[in-house]
């Protein structure tokens, strides 16, 4: 362990613990994105209130895995990627099968991030067009979206004549929209968003990311809650208690045009709440917040155990608090979709989905609601883009370090001491020769830039070098990183 320690005693009260929350808010900012804004709303539009129970389960059930992965990082000092790389199974080029599965997932996430950039650009182009062509495009597409919602609202009210008249106007607006060439606004916003995000990520450390996340989470939570409250204040659109209660009872909706809304719901189930990438990224935010440093390197002392239990409680509170936030927002989007789009019989799709979702609130709240929705949509989509890019950058750097393609920083290289001891324990269990184990420890330390003083298997009492396995063996390591001397040891169990 290092000669210096940065351990901190955990808070003892709930109020003091709340002051240490943060990684969960960052995670919630990443979680609430296109899945909640679009997929959840679409599921509500197709299924009505019937699948509320499934959406609720999708948000709540995954937090247990989030807590356990975080627990591994805090108690063993390993990043999530490092921990998963130790799972038994096939290994390729020195890395485990989960590492390579993660690499494939990360490549697909890059494509997904591109889609989110386009979504943010569409939202900004709809609210803040940059060119005259963009303003003309917005005007005709806003008119078409408003006519679509107005027609559906007229049919719901039983005014067939008005609905037919609106349908004719809608067809004309769509024809006019199709004749317009696409303006450059979305492309320009994509470039602007990319440049701004790159600058923020280049200059930003954890504190900036946490503050931006807090602002964005607060914005989209306030907008969605306000929309739901206003919906309830309108007797025409208010959600009845029997509709809400019925949605909490497990049941399946009928098929629509031969396709069950359950198909959309199951796809939504996979992307709402904590997804696979968020589960992997959460421990990195915990480490940057300082939870790992506060616990300190793992040892067998009562002091370490006390700190570990205390900071694990803080991490659990952080995880469950974030679950409450993203579950609340997701349920709000689902209810809004069921209460408005579902009742109007509208299921928006295509590149104008965000615009149509904004227009759907006009019959309920008035024309100003479309602009408010775009603000909330920007907060939702950009929070996902910003935080997911920051989190995945950390994981990619960690993955390249594990593969030996990037040098680790001093803090990461200090973890090589513990990693070498765990390597020795696994080799000891496997029955490897002592000389081979010592060579493997020295090789791993050198690869991480640690100047090795010694790395040996010795007798626990006499500290004499061993040439054959004994009952009281211990692995010991000492080395230097710059001016800091690192020492640690790990008892080895009796073989056989």
Sign of CA dihedral 60, 39, 361, 372: positive
Instruction: Give the separation between CA 332 and CA 326, rounded to whole angstroms.
Output: 10
Which of 166-175, 213-222, 292-301, 337-346 has the highest mean predicted lDDT (pLDDT)? Answer: 166-175
Instruction: Report the phi/psi class of residue 467: left, alpha or beta, with left for phi > 0 and alpha for psi in -120 to 50.
Output: alpha
Q: Which of 135-149, 187-201, 435-449 has the lowest mean pLDDT?
A: 435-449
**483 or 321, higher pLDDT:** 321
State phi, psi for 250 to the nearest 5 degrees. -55, 120
Instruction: Give the separation between CA 185 and CA 137, rounded to whole angstroms.
Output: 10
CA of 178: how far to CAs of 118, 171, 175, 182, 210, in Å? 20, 11, 5, 9, 42
Residue with tokens 């789009």: 341
Query: Could you give the angle at the alpha carbon of 191 between the alpha carbons of 186 and 197, nearest 5°?
Result: 120
Domains and CATH numbers, the chain: 14-130+184-402 (1.10.4160.10), 410-491 (3.30.1300.10)
The DSSP code sequence of 263-321 is HHHHHHHHHSSS-HHHHHHHHHHHHHHTHHHHH-S--S-HHHHHHHHHHHHHHHHHHHH
Q: What is the pLDDT of residue 374?
A: 83
Q: Please, which residues have CB within 8 angstroms of residue 323's CB and are 6 or more apart in sequence? A: 24, 59, 60, 63, 273, 274
Q: Which of 33-37, 98-102, 170-174 has the lowest mean pLDDT?
A: 33-37
Instruction: Give the separation between CA 89 and CA 355, rounded to whole angstroms.
Output: 48
Query: Between 206-233 and 23-31, two packed helices, what is the crossing angle to 10 degrees?
Result: 60
Q: What is the pLDDT of residue 162?
A: 93
Dump pLDDT digits (tens) for 453-463: 899 999 988 88
pLDDT at 475 over 90: yes
Q: What is the pLDDT of residue 410?
A: 61
Q: What is the pLDDT of residue 496?
A: 59
Summarize the confidence of residues 20-24 as an average pLDDT.
93
Average pLDDT, the chain: 86
pLDDT at 314 over 90: yes
pLDDT at 169 over 60: yes
Summarize the confidence of residues 68-90 as an average pLDDT.
88
Instruction: Give the separation between CA 453 and CA 229, rounded to whole angstroms.
Output: 66
The answer to whether residues 298 and 11 touch, using CB atoms and an 8 Å cutoff, is no
pLDDT at 257 over 50: yes
The answer to whether residues 75 and 422 touch, using CB atoms and an 8 Å cutoff, is no
What is the largest distance, in Å, between two alpha-carbon atoms of the chain? 97
Give me the percent of the chain exceeding a pLDDT of 90.
Answer: 35
Instruction: Give the separation between CA 5 and CA 61, rounded to whole angstroms.
Output: 37
pLDDT at 312 over 90: yes
Dump pLDDT digits (tens) for 360-396: 666 666 667 777 788 888 888 898 899 999 999 999 9
Sign of CA dihedral 121, 122, 123, 125: positive
Give me the percent of the chain exceeding a pLDDT of 70.
Answer: 93
For residue 351, give both structure tokens.
């590149």
Summarize the confidence of residues 320-332 as an average pLDDT.
92
pLDDT at 349 over 70: no
User: pTM of the prediction?
Assistant: 0.77
Q: What is the pLDDT of residue 245?
A: 94
DSSP-assigned letter for residue 493: P
pLDDT band with cut points at 50, 70 and 90 for residue 117: very high
Question: Facing residues of 457 across strands?
Answer: 475
* 3 state SS of 47: helix
CA of 229: how far to CAs of 233, 320, 336, 364, 453, in Å? 6, 24, 10, 12, 66
Q: What is the pLDDT of residue 411?
A: 59
For residue 158, give both structure tokens.
């039983």
Q: What is the pLDDT of residue 68?
A: 94
pLDDT at 13 over 70: yes
pLDDT at 1 over 60: no
pLDDT at 4 over 50: no
The H-or-E segment that residue 452 falls in is strand 451-459
pLDDT band with cut points at 50, 70 and 90 for residue 93: confident
Summarize the confidence of residues 161-190 as an average pLDDT.
93
pLDDT at 303 over 80: yes
Q: What is the pLDDT of residue 206?
A: 85
Summarize the confidence of residues 302-317 as an average pLDDT.
94
Instruction: Give me the count of residues in the chain.
Output: 496
Q: What is the pLDDT of residue 5?
A: 43
Summarize the confidence of residues 226-238 as an average pLDDT.
85
């Amino acid at each position: 362990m290092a000669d210096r320690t940065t351990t901190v005693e955990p808070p003892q009260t709930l109020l003091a613990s709340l002051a240490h929350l943060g990684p969960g808010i960052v995670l919630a900012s990443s979680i609430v994105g296109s899945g909640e804004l679009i997929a959840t709303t679409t599921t509500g539009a197709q299924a009505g209130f019937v699948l509320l129970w499934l959406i609720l389960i999708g948000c709540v059930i995954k937090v247990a895995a989030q807590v356990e992965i975080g627990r591994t990082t805090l108690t063993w000092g390993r990043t999530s990627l490092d921990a998963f790389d130790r799972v038994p199974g096939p290994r390729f080029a020195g890395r485990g099968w989960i590492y390579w599965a993660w690499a494939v997932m990360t490549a697909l996430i890059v494509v997904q991030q591109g889609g989110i950039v386009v979504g943010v650009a569409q939202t900004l182009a709809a609210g803040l067009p940059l060119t005259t062509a963009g303003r003309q495009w917005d005007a005709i597409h806003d008119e078409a979206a408003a006519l679509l919602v107005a027609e559906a609202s007229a049919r719901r009210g039983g005014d067939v004549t008005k609905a037919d008249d609106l349908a004719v106007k809608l067809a004309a607006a769509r024809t006019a929209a199709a004749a317009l060439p696409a303006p450059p606004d979305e492309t320009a916003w994509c470039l602007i968003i990319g440049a701004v995000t790159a600058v923020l990520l280049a200059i930003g450390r954890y504190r900036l990311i946490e503050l931006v996340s807090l602002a964005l989470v607060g914005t989209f939570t306030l907008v969605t809650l306000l929309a739901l409250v206003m919906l309830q204040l309108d007797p025409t659109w208010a959600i009845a208690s029997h509709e809400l209660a019925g949605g909490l009872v497990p049941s399946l909706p009928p098929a629509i045009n031969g396709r069950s809304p359950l198909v959309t719901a199951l796809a939504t189930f996979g992307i709402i709440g904590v997804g696979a990438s968020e589960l992997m990224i959460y421990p990195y935010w915990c480490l940057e917040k300082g939870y790992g440093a506060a616990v300190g390197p793992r040892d067998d002392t009562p002091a370490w155990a006390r700190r570990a239990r205390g900071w694990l409680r803080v991490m659990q509170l952080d995880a469950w608090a974030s679950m409450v936030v993203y579950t609340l927002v997701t349920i709000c989007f689902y209810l809004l979709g069921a209460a408005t789009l579902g009742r109007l019989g509208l299921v928006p799709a295509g590149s104008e989905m965000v615009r149509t979702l904004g227009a759907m609130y006009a019959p309920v709240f008035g024309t100003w609601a479309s602009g408010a929705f775009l603000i909330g949509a920007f907060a939702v989509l950009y929070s996902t883009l910003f935080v997911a890019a920051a989190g995945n950058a950390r994981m990619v750097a960690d993955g390249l370090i594990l593969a030996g393609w990037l040098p680790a920083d001093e803090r990461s290289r200090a973890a090589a001491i513990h990693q070498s001891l765990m390597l020795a324990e696994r080799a000891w269990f496997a029955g490897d020769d002592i000389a081979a184990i010592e060579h493997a420890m020295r090789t791993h330390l050198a690869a991480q830039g640690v100047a090795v003083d010694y790395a040996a298997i010795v007798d626990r009492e006499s500290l004499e070098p061993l040439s054959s396995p004994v009952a009281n063996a211990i692995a010991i390591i000492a080395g230097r990183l710059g001016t800091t001397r690192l020492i640690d040891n790990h008892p080895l169990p009796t073989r056989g």
